[in-house]
């Protein structure tokens, strides 16, 4: 696969990069390079135009005000929607996940328009904050092992008919609706509340994004010893009695 290149964009690291979410970009980059792929990674700040011709776009979490600013700028820019129209893959976390939806509640307590790339609507929960480790079973159609991650959010996100839950929780709150769902996805757009960074805990998801971007069914195997050790450690810790 050495003749193939991959273009990766980390969106707005100056506004959306909490809880180590930038590690997701590092994991995608590393997993591609391990397969001999040339990777062109670009970090696009909020005062720059989002390119429309990349393969994979990664968006992290953020505090309430930066989330509002990011949503406003991404709507004005329009590049992310054009990228999806061009077949790009998007993986988003927490505030980034909410931004990709139809609407969310911002730091001013107002309903704010999202990008509409995922059929989800997010509100602010009245119950206690969702904090802690999560274990969840990923949608079987994705063919991926159980999801492990760390959630820290007040959001409640409801998945509409135009998307599917990314996973069903066995431990943790996930989307915060009480229906056991976590995250959402459609063909090429993925959202989750999981930090960790989540792709370090779940490298098979990073591989799935790469396969979608390259339009291939499989990637050459790599040494997953470190990743699997981390997964086992975090899953075991999550299952320990409180």
Cβ neighbours, 10 Å, residue 36: 11
| 197 preceded by a cis bond (ω within 30 of 0) | yes
Q: Is 129 annotated as a binding residue?
A: yes
- Residues in Cβ contact with 134 at an 8 Å cutoff, skipping those fewer than 6 apart: 147, 148, 149, 150, 151, 169, 171, 172, 173, 174, 182, 193, 194, 238
Angle at 189 between CA 17 and CA 164, to 5 degrees: 115
**What one-character DSSP code corresponds to residue 140?**
G
Q: Which long-range contacts (CB under 8 A, 24 or more apart) does 224-232 make?
A: 227/200, 227/203, 230/200, 230/201, 231/148, 231/201, 231/202
Whether 195 is a known active-site residue: answer yes
Of 130, 153, 195, 208, the catalytic one is 195
Catalytic residue among 94, 130, 153, 208: 94
**139, exposed or middle or buried, with CB in 10 Å at 0-12, 13-18, 19+?**
middle
Known active-site residue 94: yes
- The answer to whether 180 and 188 are in contact (CB under 8 A) is no
For the annotated catalytic residues, the residue numbers are 94, 195
Q: Which residues are annotated as a binding site for substrate?
A: 129
Q: Which residues are annotated as a binding site?
A: 129
């Amino acid at each position: 696969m050495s003749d193939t290149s991959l273009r990766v964009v980390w969106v707005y690291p100056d506004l959306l990069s909490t809880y180590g979410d930038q590690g997701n970009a590092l994991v995608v980059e590393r997993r591609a390079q391990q397969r001999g792929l040339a990777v062109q990674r670009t970090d696009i700040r909020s005062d720059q135009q989002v390119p429309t011709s990349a393969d994979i776009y990664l968006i992290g979490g953020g505090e309430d005000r930066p989330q509002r600013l990011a949503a406003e700028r991404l709507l004005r820019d329009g590049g992310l929607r054009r990228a999806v129209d061009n077949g790009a893959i998007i993986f988003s976390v927490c505030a980034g996940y909410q931004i990709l939806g139809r609407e969310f509640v911002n730091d001013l307590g107002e309903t704010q328009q999202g990008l509409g790339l995922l059929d989800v609507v997010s509100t602010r929960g009245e119950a206690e904050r969702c904090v802690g480790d999560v274990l969840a079973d990923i949608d079987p159609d994705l063919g991926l092992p159980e999801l492990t991650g760390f959630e820290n959010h007040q959001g409640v996100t409801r998945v509409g008919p135009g998307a599917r839950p990314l996973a069903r929780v066995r431990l943790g709150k996930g989307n915060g609706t009480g229906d056991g769902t976590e995250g959402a996805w459609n063909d090429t757009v993925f959202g989750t509340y999981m930090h960790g960074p989540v792709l370090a805990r779940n490298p098979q998801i990073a591989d799935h994004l790469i396969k979608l971007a390259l339009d291939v069914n499989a990637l050459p195997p790599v040494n997953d010893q470190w990743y699997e050790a981390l997964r086992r450690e975090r899953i075991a810790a999550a299952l320990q009695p409180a």
